[in-house]
Amino acid sequence: MKEMDKNNKSFENIKHIDEDGVEFWYARELQTVLNYKEWRKFEGVIEKAKIACENSNLNILEHFVGADKMVQIGSGAERKQKDYKLTRYACYLIAQNGDSRKKVIALAQTYFAVQTRKQEITEKEYTSLTEDEKRFFQRNLTKKGNYSLNQTAKKAGVKNFDKFHNYGYKGLYNGETADDIAKRKGLRYREDILDNMGSDELIANLFRISQTEQKLKKDNIQTEKEANKTHYNIGRNIREVIAKNGGTMPEDLPTPEKSLKQLEKENNKSLTKVKN
């Protein structure tokens, strides 16, 4: 049990979070934790995992993102070192295709399988969740949604992503930008507004995110100006639907007492106490 906890911490320690709040792992770091001394052999496992990903009808490029970088090799010279940013699912597939004789591979299979399952939930299970649990669930969906939206927006010509997202907020929040929302909620500088929303407010934003991505693709938007306009219009349309149905406007929904970051820290402290 101690060995499993130790390895689970290792997988957690090498986990990264990008600017959109999406978690990922670097292949080179995972290689070390999985006790592969040679990149050549580990890359062979990655290739098998890619095939498994493709066979599952999933986009390889979304789960295995190239992350090559220049490294020093002495005397000031540099060379390109191949690497990948891996999703949790990609890590799971790598573990599934790894050397089964390695005990750490079995631990990795368990860890990533359990973590993946935590992100899956049925409608029946959702109704039984507490409000904070619903917030965690919806926040995870918005992270994934924003990541996907950013990829689509980039293809549509968007370069200023802060401006692009503010157009969406302005439409949904009657002219408020992300900074305006943060000030209204009384948040600290650069504190994430989505981490400080209730489940209903997160659902409204998730709908804005998903509908905007679909519209960008459907209309084959090719300019930043049109992409920004589209994001605003989608946000505005959702606001009109809420008003028509007699719902509460997003800016009038209560801000939870604790952010998801605070709840996460408290949960981690509680788990540490239990283990000790």
Domain boundaries, the chain: 2-118, 123-275
Crossing angle (nearest 10°) for helices 161-172 and 199-218: 120
Note whether 235 and 174 are within 8 A (CB).
no
Instruction: Establish how many alpha carbons lie within 13 A of residue 132's alpha carbon, considering only the half-sphere containing its beta carbon.
Output: 11
Confidence at residue 5, expressed as pLDDT on a 0 to 100 scale: 45
Range 247-271 average pLDDT: 85
Q: Which residue has the higher pLDDT, 184 or 72?
A: 184
pLDDT at 248: 95
Q: How many CB atoms lie within 10 A of CB 68?
A: 10
Query: From residue 261, how far is each of 2, 165, 198, 209, 256 by CA, in Å?
Result: 27, 22, 13, 22, 12
In this prediction, residue 71 has a pLDDT band, given cuts at 50, 70 and 90, of: confident
| Alpha carbons 198 and 251: distance in angstroms, whole number | 11
Q: Higher-confidence residue: 114 or 148?
A: 148
86-124 confidence digits (pLDDT tens): 998 899 899 889 887 788 887 787 777 766 666 666 666
d(CA 101, CA 92): 17
Q: How far apart are CA 145 and CA 204, in angstroms?
A: 12
Measured between alpha carbons, how far apart are the two ends of the chain, in Å?
A: 13
Tell me: pLDDT of 275 over 50.
Answer: no
The Cα 214–Cα 14 span in angstroms is: 33
Asked if 230 contacts 215 with a C-beta cutoff of 8 angstroms, the reply is yes
User: Rounded to an integer, what distance in angstroms lies between the CA atom of residue 39 and that of residue 133?
Assistant: 40
Q: Is the pTM of this model over 0.75?
A: no
101 in Cβ contact with 76 (< 8 Å): no
Question: For residue 249, which phi and psi values (nearest 5 degrees)?
Answer: -65, 145
> Residue 70: pLDDT band by 50, 70, 90 thresholds?
confident
The answer to whether residues 33 and 104 touch, using CB atoms and an 8 Å cutoff, is yes
